[in-house]
Chains A and B, each alone.
Chain A
Amino acid sequence: MEKLHEKKLKMLEETAADLRRAVIEMVSHAGSGHIAGPLGMADIFSALYFHALTHNPKRPQWPLRDRLVLSNGHICPIQYAALAHAGYFPVQELMTLRQLGTRLQGHPHRGALPGVETTSGPLGSGLSQACGMALAARLDRARHRVYCLMSDGEHQEGNLWEAAMFAARHRLANLTAIVDRNNIQIDGMTEDVMPLESLRAKYEAFNWHVLEVDGHNIEQFVDALHEARAIYERPTVIIAHTIPGKGVDFMEFDYRWHSKPFKKGEAAQAIAELRTLKKTIVSEHE
């Protein structure tokens, strides 16, 4: 992973805006699917697939690639958009999301689409799968890293904490977990539904190295990924504070957009707002 310079940063922010637009088009065309989470994670996906990950879209099975597990599989529209824009498959195919016969299943399925490492979606189990991949890498004396993306709500699953114990017990330093801390879940705000705080203290108690970043600040996030690589003997978790629905004013911070479909005109309005966002990125870097 090279150092992030100004020009690259601008490119990553613009790419994030493009991914957001793709997500809105995909979900609105599909008529169902999750929207707030994918929009909130666009900056992180841009940073991962267009800067941080060691990968080769032309060789999805390249053995030396970093592995990415999307534990909160319901935000897969943003991963699909990133994979397509990175060159894993044609961008036009994004519009087949959730349709019969598509490679873009409603939740990620291994073998269905190049770049999807494993099947995921039922919450709380992705971190365990990532642990298995990290153990395999160690057995093979391979240098690649394993990344696991999780939602905050899925920390209510017991399975996840079993995995957190396991990763620390087996000193999986080649594993970096990234938590989308957007404070919403289907039934409301996480702290009302089933409080997660202090999430940092919980991970620290489980003997993880814990970092917290602004999930929309790509520089901060990339710095955290660098720091995680320098931590030996322990896995690292990056708690990324994000705004659900980021980039679309009427969706931001509103938990009801976790998975509700667009009404007529809403998608067009959202895309119009994203154009403003992209112009802001350009002017900020000038």
Chain B
Amino acid sequence: MSLTPSAKLVGTIFQPDTLDMKPTRDGYGAGLVEAAEADPNVVALCADLSESTRSDAFASAFPDRFFECGVAEQNMACVAAGLAVSGKIPFIASYAAFSPGRNWEQIRTTIAYNNANAKVMGHHAGISVGPDGATHQMTEDIALMRAMPNMTVVVPCDAEEARKAVRAAAHAVGPWYIRFAREKSSVFTTSATPFIPGKAQIFWEAHKPQVALIACGTAVYACLLAARLLERDGIASMVVNCHTVKPLDEKKIADILGKCGAAVTAEEHQVIGGLGGAIAELAARTCPVPIEFVGMQGSFGESGTPAELMAKYGMDSAAVVRAAKKALSRK
């Protein structure tokens, strides 16, 4: 086994049937209540999606600190800015297609440029949203938020990491974007797994790795499964959980690229502008190596079950294996 012991992942990580299945948005609900218990300045806003963004637990526990905005994401972002410049720590939750999709300029001006201590929580990101179709499957949000000065961008790999990310966002000063998925996914990290914003984590490292699998969000688990499949084919790899897309852990990633000499990035996002874009920019500046990009290849999604969509659009572990072999062939 090449799992990193210090990552303290679930012991039965490669027996998927044994793993707890939870959507990362559950981590938002739990983390928000914990953050609110720890700090009376934490407040939450929602745009008519309290249950599906898991804001409802906070709303029940702290009704005076919860502000219903109705279906009005632009207003919600700016209200949060007003609360933040008044000393509160607002979390705003909606679907990522609408926040930051619809209210991008409001976030840019009143939160990012204003350097307001407000936290934007983008839910139902990626195509695993499933049957709702492409209108509600946000695949451009990392690009939108990553380009924004002052903004920290975090994509948790499972519900447990999402909980920790929300706690970290409440603790950190400044604008944050955290991205969550709708569909249940394997919980493979534990409460003992470290989470340090801005620090990429190596979850798997085979002896003399030939290719780095760098991922964020639920694609991290697909990469771990891919690492095992590659091992059977005699290919040594490394799996990196790059939960913080911005600021990128530049030194560590550059070292990893240098050590492996080839890489695959994986994310439930367009291959333009997301984690893949960030890694490619870094590689161009520090350590140019062949990189293959797993993600949406420039198209919108469609209705279907999450599993069907992940297979059709090439974002499952099989797709990561194919990409790794292609990257190696270009070495």
Contact = CB atoms under 8 A, between A and B. Distances in A.
Interface in B179-200: none
Contacts of B80: 132
Interface of B: 43, 64-65, 67-70, 72, 74-88, 90, 105-106, 109-110, 113-116
A128 B86 contact: no
Interface of A: 67, 69, 109-111, 117-122, 124-126, 128-137, 139-140, 158-159, 162-163, 165-166, 169-170
Contacts of B114: 109-110, 118-119
B109 A166 contact: no
B69 A166 contact: yes
Given A117-B85, A133-B86, A136-B86, A163 B78 contact: yes
Contacts of B75: 128, 131, 159, 162-163, 165-166
Nearest to B72: A162
Contact of B70 (A111, A129, A139, A165): A165
Contacts of A125: 74, 78, 106, 109-110
Nearest to B84: A132
A136 B88 contact: yes
A109 B88 CA distance: 19
B43 A139 contact: yes
B102 to A, nearest CB: 10
Given A132-B80, A133-B82, 8 more contacts: A122-B106, A124-B74, A131-B82, A132-B85, A134-B82, A135-B82, A136-B83, A159-B75
Contact of B110 (A67, A118, A137): A118
A131 B65 CA distance: 14
A159 B78 contact: yes
Given A125-B109, A132-B86, A169 B70 contact: yes
28 contacts: A109-B114, A110-B114, A110-B115, A118-B85, A118-B116, A125-B74, A125-B78, A128-B75, A128-B76, A128-B110, A129-B110, A131-B78, A132-B80, A133-B83, A133-B85, A134-B82, A135-B79, A135-B83, A136-B82, A137-B86, A139-B65, A139-B88, A162-B70, A162-B74, A163-B79, A165-B75, A166-B69, A166-B75
